Amino acid sequence: MLRLKDELLKDKDSSFEFMLPKESQEVEVKKHELMFYTNQCWDEIRRVSNDNGSLLFEHFRDMAQLHCSQIGSNAQTWEEFLTYFVEACSREKKVQEIEKKAFSGEAFEPVGGGNIIEGGIMGGGEMPNDGGSGGLS
């Protein structure tokens, strides 16, 4: 019996005689169908992966270009922003210097070279519309 078993394991054709031939053939057909579908699925997976890889590469490239242009635009906007505020600060500093000089009396000389109250507005010692009193009443 062991010898028959060994012979049947070695010889596929003779083993079919002892097995159920119809069911064995169905199993063999199913096996070939399964191999066919497995190979088709594997080929389809490879094809889709290649297509998706190409699509992902193109998407990555497009997004990288978009980000580069956006970063460039942001850099330009920041440059304009900083330039504007540096100029604004410079103008404000000049205005403050002028105001400081004006309040300290360095910027303006009174008309007539004297004190406004003592010399009068016109510089001649007379105040307008006061009848020539020559000072404050």
Percent of the chain, pLDDT > 90?
36
| Buried b or exposed e, range 20-35, using 16+ CB within 10 angstroms | eeeeeeeeeeeeeeee
Which pLDDT band holds residue 137 (cuts at 50, 70, 90)?
Answer: very low
> Mean pLDDT across the stretch 107-131?
51
In a domain, 119, yes or no: no
In a domain, 127, yes or no: no
The Cβ of residue 121 has, within 10 Å, a number of other Cβ atoms equal to: 13
Which pLDDT band holds residue 54 (cuts at 50, 70, 90)?
Answer: confident
pLDDT surpassing 50 at residue 2: yes
Residue 56: its pLDDT value, please?
86
Beta strands in 4-130 (DSSP E): none
In a domain, 117, yes or no: no
In a domain, 123, yes or no: no
Number of structural domains the chain divides into: 1
Query: From CA 53, how far away is CA 12, in angstroms rounded?
Result: 45
Which range marks the domain in which residue 78 is found? 24-106
Query: From CA 89, how far away is CA 84, in angstroms rounded?
Result: 9
pLDDT surpassing 80 at residue 80: yes
Which pLDDT band holds residue 40 (cuts at 50, 70, 90)?
Answer: very high
Q: Which amino acid is at 66?
A: L
Residue 61: its pLDDT value, please?
92
Residue bearing the bigger pLDDT, 134 or 79? 79
In a domain, 14, yes or no: no
| Confidence (pTM) | 0.35
Residue 120: its pLDDT value, please?
47
In a domain, 50, yes or no: yes
Compute CA distances 15 → 29, 105, 117, whole Å.
17, 123, 136
